[in-house]
Amino acid sequence: MSFMPVILWSDALVFLLIAAIVAAAVHVRKREHLMLPWKRVARSSVALVSMLVLSVFLVIGLLDTLHYRAALPQNGSEKVYSPEVLSAFDALVGPLRTHTEKTYSAPFALHLYAKESMRDAQDNVVREYPRLQYGGTHLADEAERDMDVLQRALVGMLAGTLAGVMLSWLLRRRYTQPALTIALVLLAALIGTIMNLSAAYHVLGTDKVGQDVLYLSLKSIRTGLIIGTLTTLVTLPLALFLGVAAGYFRGWVDDVIQYIYTVLSSIPSVLLIAAAVLMMQVTIDTHPDWFDTSASRADMRLVALCLILGLTSWTGLCRLLRGETLKLREMEYIQAAQAFGVSSMRILSRHIMPNVMHIILIALVMDFSALVLAEAVLSYVGVGVDPSMISFGTMINGARLEMGREPMVWWSLASAFVFMLVLVLAANLFADAVRDAFDPRLNRTEGQA
């Protein structure tokens, strides 16, 4: 076998989350009353277009979750594997990862962004911009660059448009919204253009060590998705159990739970997260034998950050569930079940929890974008993911000093900003559509109209 599969902790949690989503989808499809809100979501053009954009990010994130270690050339009978952990996404975009320059270069540039001492034809030392090692090396004449970029963009756009039209034709029976068809064609055209251009140029330039900024931006997607989704594995059980228990049992149980989340909410979240991350980092530094690769070490810090964010962000959802459970507890069917001697656990599992799931779903979808932004802020201040892990926060932190140099290096910050903006905007639009579909007040108003 030319590679050895590697399952990091975050990979295992992602697979667990996917299995839970699949099981929930199967459960929902078998129940018509649960399918109705999702059918309303599917009728929303905004929801479908935003979900299409999110699907592209999800595919990239899932490909970047399939990790492996490549086999090294054998000198003996024992097979040795590289200590570098790669992913299926790295294998697909190999040139983006391996075609590194010496240092900064601007988007579509043919030369480095800084002058170096070079010798001319007369063996004189001059200060010039060196030619890039990979970007635009196929051009014999530098004056041909603009025309070559235009031709490659048109060819990639045409190929992407054709692929988008074919895919829209295959999906025409299931999805008939014109907005989705237009968005699919435009997105396919954009992807085709970028793919064709990135084969010959650094579309978004390179960073301080010469890495392609487009590659860094795409690799940052997985980190943002991990933070935005895996944190729910910690937030959901705490908020659901404590919120429902406080609202249903009331009395001293309600007082204790309210005291816990009131105290936790009173502590500045950034300081609490920073303290927890620093303590976790000390533990990792003092136990290097726990990790066989640097990737597993960085991944453990990522998982720990998800755990810390989950332990500090469950209070808002807990309050919502407590208030909804207090209202449901006074409903006639709950009081009838209590009068017939039905146990509290059965009432909670059969009557309370199914009726608060819409609140959970809306809150989790809307919190996703906040968690993605939280990672960028925490990494910027130095208490986020490991510095060796690529993320939007580490890109922004690295671009902080680049913005102050002369000439200014702007493309790393701009790339991280644009990718994060598209991800968060698509998530927010989809969250709005889900909220409108699951909000019983809005649905009741539409029914009366």
List, for residues 21-69, the tens digit of each pLDDT value.
Answer: 899 889 888 888 778 888 888 888 888 999 999 999 999 999 999 999 8
Interatomic CA distance for residues 125 and 313, integer angstroms? 60
DSSP count for the chain of H helices, then E strands: 18, 5
Residue-number span of the structural domain to which 321 is assigned: 213-448
Which of 91-100, 189-198, 333-342, 395-404 is predicted most confidently? 189-198
How far apart are the C-alpha atoms of 165 and 330, rounded to whole Å? Answer: 54
Residues 359, 320: Cα–Cα separation, whole Å: 8
> What is the token pair recorded at 167?
């895919």
122 found inside a domain: no
Residue 321 maps to a domain: yes
- With 0-12 CB in 10 A as exposed, 13-18 as middle and 19+ as buried, what is 410? middle
Report if residue 406 sits inside a domain: yes
Residue 448's pLDDT band (cuts 50, 70, 90): very low
Q: Say if CB 224 and CB 392 are below 8 A apart.
A: yes
CA 282, 300, 387, 365 torsion: positive or negative? negative
Pairing of strands 67-70, 116-119: unpaired
**CA separation for the pair 376, 410 (Å, rounded):** 17
The residue type at 386: D
Residues 381-396: what's their mean pLDDT?
84
Q: What are the C-alpha distances in Å from 248 to residues 231, 241, 335, 348?
A: 26, 11, 12, 8
CA count, 13 A, side-chain hemisphere, 372: 26
E strand or H helix at 250: none
Tell me how far apart the alpha carbons of residues 318 and 324 are, in angstroms, rounded to a whole number. Answer: 10
Can you tell me the mean pLDDT for 144-166? 92
- 206: helix, coil or strand? strand
pLDDT one-digit tens code per residue, 288-341: 888 888 888 888 888 888 888 888 888 888 888 998 888 888 888 888 888 888
**Residue 138 reports pLDDT greater than 80:** yes
CA distance 442 to 19: 32
Q: Is 415 domain-assigned?
A: yes
In three state form, how does the secondary structure of 44-69 look? CHHHHHHHHHHHHHHHHHHHCCCEEE
Lowest-confidence region among 378-392, 393-407, 431-445: 431-445
Band of residue 449 on the pLDDT scale cut at 50, 70, 90: very low
pLDDT value of residue 212: 92
Looking at residues 115-132, what average pLDDT do you find? Answer: 78
pLDDT tens, 419-429?
A: 989 998 998 88
Report the first-to-last Cα separation within the chain, whole angstroms.
64
Tell me the whole-structure pTM to 2 decimals. 0.87
Confidence of residue 443 (pLDDT cuts 50, 70, 90): low
Is 282 inside any structural domain?
Answer: yes
Percent of the chain with pLDDT over 70: 96
**How many domains does the structure of the chain reveal?**
1
- 176 pLDDT above the threshold of 70: no
CATH code of 320's domain: 1.10.3720.10
200-225 residue pLDDT tens:
999 999 988 889 999 999 999 999 89
Residue 226 lies in a domain: yes
**Any domain includes 359:** yes
In a domain, 278, yes or no: yes
Task: Please give the average per-residue pLDDT across 132-146, as a whole number.
Answer: 86
Amino acid at 4: M
What is the pLDDT at residue 77? 66
* Residue 406 pLDDT level (bands cut at 50, 70, 90): confident
Task: Name the average pLDDT for the chain.
Answer: 85
